[in-house]
Amino acid sequence: MNALVALAILPSLVISWLAGFAMRKLAPRWNLVDRPGARKIHARVTPYGGGIAIWTALVFPLAILQLALVAMPASEASTSDAPHNASWLNNAFQLLETHRGGLLERAGDLWFFLGGATVLTILGLADDRRKIDWRWRLAIETAVAAGVVFGRGWTLTLFVDWPLVTAVVSVLWIVWLINSFNMLDNMDGLSGGVAAIAACLLAIVMLGTPEPDSGQPQLFVAGFLFLLVGALVGFLFHNRPPARLFMGDAGAYLVGYCLAVMSILATFTGGGLPRHAILAPLCVFAIPIYDTLSVITIRLVSGRSPFQGDTSHFSHRLVALGLSPAQAVLTIYLASAACGLGALLLHQVDAWGAAVVLLMIFCLLCVIATLELTALRQRKNGGRSR
C-alpha cells in the first residue's frame, strides 16, 4: 500500500507545485485575477489559475500512466514475487504490472469521468474571467452530473428499489458538493485543505473496505483520491496565507466534482459489511455540508438569494467570534478531521456503534452552531450578556 500512496501522491504533488508557479505568471496575462474590494478580505490582486494546476496534476500523470500500461507487456507476475527488500519504486512497478488488466479495463470510465471534470474546469475558468449567471452555471453542473449518473450508470447506494429516485439523488449529491466546495473557497487554504483532508480519509476508508466481487481493497478509487491529495497539497503551497494563487471557481468545481463522483464509485458495503457503512461520505463531508446548509439558511431568512455572495460563511462567522483568518481555517480543518475520522469506524461497528459515531458528529456541529448563535445574539445586544 505504501507503493500505491507514493505512486499516486508524489507525481501529482510535484506537478501541481510546478504548475502553480507557471499560473502565478500566466494568469495575470490572461486577466484571470481576483481584485480586493466589496466582500473580498484579501488586500492585493491575486491570480486565479490554481484550478488549472490541479487539473494538470490529475490529468497529466494519468495520461502517462495510460501510455505506460498500453506499452507494458502482459505478465503473470504478482506482488508476492517481489523481494522483501525491494524499494517502493520497484513495488510500485510491481503493483502496476499486477493490476494492468484491471486498470486498462476501467480506462474508458476514467476518461469519461475526467471529461466531465474538464467541462467543469472550463466552466469555472469562464466564471472566474467573466461572471456567469448562476442559472447557467447550475444548468451545466446538473447536465454534467446527469451525464455521469444516467450516461454511465454511476449512482449512490441507497438500498431503495426506486432507480429513478436513486439517480436523481445522485445527481443532486454531485451538484451539492460542487457548490459546497465552491462556497467553502472564501479564505486562504480553506477549500483546498478541507478537500485534501476529505480525500485522504475517504481513500483510507477505501483501502479498508473490500470490493464485493474480489474481496480486495478498492485500489482504483483510493488511488485517484491519493492523486487528488497530492494535487491539492502541491496547490496549497501557493494558497497558504498569504495566498499567492487562488483555485477559483475552476478549482472548486473540479475538486467538488471529483470528490462527489469518487464517493459514488466507492463501495461501502462490500464483503458483508453493514449497511450503515454507506454513511461514511456524510461523515467525511460533514463540514462542507454544514457550511452550505447554514449559509443558505442565513440568506433565505434574511430575504436574500441563496446564490448571492456574502460573508455569512462558517469561516467568516468564526472570524466574527474573534478568531484570526488563519485560526478560523485551522479550526475548520480540525472540525473536518474530527467528523471525517468517524468514517473510519462505520464499517467496523454495529448499528449502535454507528449511531454513537453519528451522534458525536451531530453534537459537534450543534456545539459549533450554539457558539455561533450565542455570539450573534451578543453582537445584536451590543456585547451584553445575561
Query: What span, in angstroms and rounded, lies between the C-alpha atoms of 224 and 61?
Result: 11
State pLDDT tens for residues 350-362: 999 999 999 999 9
Q: Confidence band (pLDDT; 50, 70, 90) for 73?
A: low
Query: What span, in angstroms and rounded, lies between the C-alpha atoms of 197 and 228?
Result: 11
**Mean pLDDT, rounded, for 159-179:** 93
**Mean pLDDT, rounded, for 24-52:** 82
Q: Is residue 71 part of a domain?
A: yes
pTM of the model as a whole: 0.89
Cβ-contact 159, 274 below 8 angstroms: no
Question: For position 383, what pLDDT does the model report?
Answer: 47
Cβ-contact 285, 198 below 8 angstroms: yes
Query: What span, in angstroms and rounded, lies between the C-alpha atoms of 151 and 161?
Result: 20
Question: Which triple of cell numbers denotes residue 121?
Answer: 474546469
**Mean pLDDT, rounded, for 29-50:** 78
Task: Please tell me the least confidently modeled range out of 43-52, 62-71, 145-154, 267-276.
Answer: 267-276
Q: Are strands 46-47 and 33-34 parallel, antiparallel or unpaired?
A: antiparallel
Helices (H), the chain: 2-26, 50-71, 88-98, 100-105, 107-129, 134-152, 163-184, 190-208, 219-239, 248-265, 280-284, 286-301, 314-320, 325-340, 343-346, 351-380
Examine residue 212 and say whether the peptide bond preceding it is cis (omega within 30 degrees of 0): no
Q: Is residue 101 part of a domain?
A: yes
Which of 79, 40, 335, 365 lies closest to 216 in space, CA to CA?
A: 79
Q: Domain range holding 232?
A: 2-270
Q: Tell me: pLDDT of 287 over 60.
A: yes
Q: Confidence band (pLDDT; 50, 70, 90) for 284?
A: very high
Q: Is residue 76 part of a domain?
A: yes
Question: Which triple of cell numbers denotes residue 168?
Answer: 436523481
Query: How many domains does the chain contain in total?
Result: 1
Q: Is residue 350 part of a domain?
A: no
3-state percent breakdown (helix, strand, coil) of the chain, nearest 5: 70, 0, 25
Task: Please tell me the least confidently modeled range out of 74-78, 85-89, 95-99, 154-158.
Answer: 74-78
**Phi and psi (nearest 5°) for 99?**
-105, 20
Q: Confidence band (pLDDT; 50, 70, 90) for 375?
A: low
How far out from the chain centre does Cα 284 lie? 10
User: First vs last Cα of the chain: how many Å apart?
Assistant: 56
Q: Tell me: pLDDT of 75 over 60.
A: no
- Indicate the SS3 state at residue 222: helix
Question: For position 311, what pLDDT does the model report?
Answer: 80
Cβ-contact 106, 220 below 8 angstroms: yes
Query: What span, in angstroms and rounded, lies between the C-alpha atoms of 48 and 50?
Result: 6
Q: Is residue 57 part of a domain?
A: yes
Q: Is residue 332 part of a domain?
A: no
Q: Is residue 84 part of a domain?
A: yes
Q: Is residue 188 part of a domain?
A: yes
Question: Which triple of cell numbers denotes residue 317?
Answer: 462567522
